[in-house]
């Protein structure tokens, strides 16, 4: 028997604000494997998320296979658009959606985790973050600001997370991000520079794997997942159509379940994936292998 064993490990999953996305599914899978799980939540959504947790509205989703309930070790405010608090404009820092959350930058979460748990406090870091302010614009109608915004939040933030969490992660830590087929093929309607951001994310995965591997012994991988009707994905406006198209044209003609992405993430983070780094792993029912619609 080869168990996925993450007992004694601590994970941070960045990009969890509800129970419907890949981030939540990954966090739950890591917990099922024995890890303690912290999450990073976008500050404007943090109050609603913690209220749902406190009132038991997510208890059904939090129920583990053994009947126990997943209890997040910490919930941190995190806006990955900002590497440090000083990078956030004053109007953001002082707005009512941010001002009570302390240092919500990437470095702020690093500092708070170090304060909470000490040096060498994390073993798994998951980047489940993406945002394109002009995602509904075709590329020809995307502004420079919108394009760079998509790249910054959806791709550069992974570089920043490896850069900043690398020193406080235990040797052999696993870093993981989430991509999509639009990185390499045209998905009409997936605009605003998001396809470019996903392509950059996958390229950066390979370079970061080399650099973080040589510097700290950490591994860096990426999962290219099929479409999922998460709240975040609804922003593109045609997620249902994407799911159905992939479902009927994939080698396994069925919709993707977020738990399948979670299980793959847990495997990659575990000792069973110790030899895997710099890889983009497809979890999409085989859709990526198809060259012609059925």
Instruction: Tell me which residue of 132, 184, 148, 174 sits closest to 265, measured CA to CA.
Output: 174
**Cα–Cα dist 279/2, whole Å:** 22
β-pair partners for 63: 69
* Average pLDDT for the chain: 95
Is residue 1 one of the residues assigned to a domain? no
- State the catalytic residues: 180, 190
pLDDT at res. 2: 85
Does 113 have pLDDT greater than 70? yes
Q: In the Cβ-directed half-sphere of 162, how many Cα atoms lie within 13 Å? A: 28
Is residue 143 one of the residues assigned to a domain? yes
Q: Phi and psi of 113, rounded to 5°?
A: -65, -40
Q: Provide the token pair at 231.
A: 């709240």
pLDDT at res. 12: 98
Query: What's the N-to-C CA distance of the chain in angstroms?
Result: 38
Is residue 287 one of the residues assigned to a domain? no
pLDDT at res. 229: 77
Q: Phi and psi of 85, rounded to 5°?
A: -65, -35
Q: Which residues contact 81 (CB under 8 A, 6 or more apart)?
A: 88, 131, 149, 152, 153, 157
Is residue 256 one of the residues assigned to a domain? yes
Q: Phi and psi of 229, rounded to 5°?
A: -80, 60
Mean pLDDT, residues 288-293 = 91
Mean pLDDT, residues 9-15 = 98
pLDDT tens digits for 144-199? 999 999 999 999 999 999 999 999 999 999 999 999 999 999 999 899 999 999 99
**Cα–Cα dist 195/14, whole Å:** 21
CATH number of the structural domain spanning residue 172: 3.40.50.720
Its pTM stands at 0.95
Is residue 247 one of the residues assigned to a domain? yes
Residue 233's pLDDT band, with cuts at 50, 70 and 90, is low
**Cα–Cα dist 81/159, whole Å:** 12
Backbone Cα Rg of the chain: 18
Q: How many residues does the chain have?
A: 294
β-pair partners for 175: 125, 220
Domain count, the chain: 1
Residue 283, SS3 per DSSP: strand
Say if residues 104 and 77 touch (Cβ distance below 8 Å).
yes
Is residue 4 one of the residues assigned to a domain? no
Is residue 225 one of the residues assigned to a domain? yes
pLDDT at res. 240: 86
Is residue 73 one of the residues assigned to a domain? yes
Crossing angle for the helix pair 106-117 and 157-165, to the nearest 10 degrees: 30
Q: Range of 113's domain? A: 10-275
């Amino acid at each position: 028997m080869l168990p996925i064993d993450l007992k004694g490990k601590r994970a941070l999953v960045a990009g969890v604000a509800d129970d419907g996305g890949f981030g939540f599914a990954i966090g739950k899978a890591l917990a099922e494997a024995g890890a303690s799980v912290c999450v990073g939540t976008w500050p404007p959504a943090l109050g609603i998320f913690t209220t749902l947790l406190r009132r038991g509205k997510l208890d059904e989703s939090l129920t583990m296979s053994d009947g126990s309930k997943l209890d997040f070790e910490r919930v941190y405010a995190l806006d990955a658009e900002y590497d440090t608090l000083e990078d956030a404009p004053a109007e953001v820092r002082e707005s009512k959606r941010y001002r009570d959350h302390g240092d919500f930058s990437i470095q702020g979460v690093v500092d708070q985790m170090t304060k909470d748990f000490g040096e060498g406090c994390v073993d798994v870091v998951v980047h489940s973050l993406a945002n394109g302010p002009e995602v509904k614009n075709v590329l020809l109608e995307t502004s420079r600001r919108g394009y760079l915004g998509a790249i910054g939040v959806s791709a550069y933030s992974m570089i920043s997370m490896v850069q900043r969490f690398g020193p406080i992660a235990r040797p052999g830590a696993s870093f993981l991000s989430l991509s999509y087929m639009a990185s390499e093929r045209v998905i009409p309607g997936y605009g605003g520079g998001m396809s470019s951001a996903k392509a950059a994310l996958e390229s950066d995965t390979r370079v970061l794997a080399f650099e973080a591997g040589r510097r700290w012994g950490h591994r860096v991988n990426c999962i290219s997942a099929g479409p999922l009707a998460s709240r975040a994905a609804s922003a593109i406006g045609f997620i249902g159509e994407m799911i159905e198209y992939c479902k009927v044209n994939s080698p396994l003609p069925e919709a993707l379940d977020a738990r399948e992405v979670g299980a793959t993430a847990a495997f990659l983070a575990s000792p069973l994936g110790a030899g895997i780094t710099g890889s983009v792993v497809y979890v999409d029912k085989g859709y990526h292998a198809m060259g012609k619609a059925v």
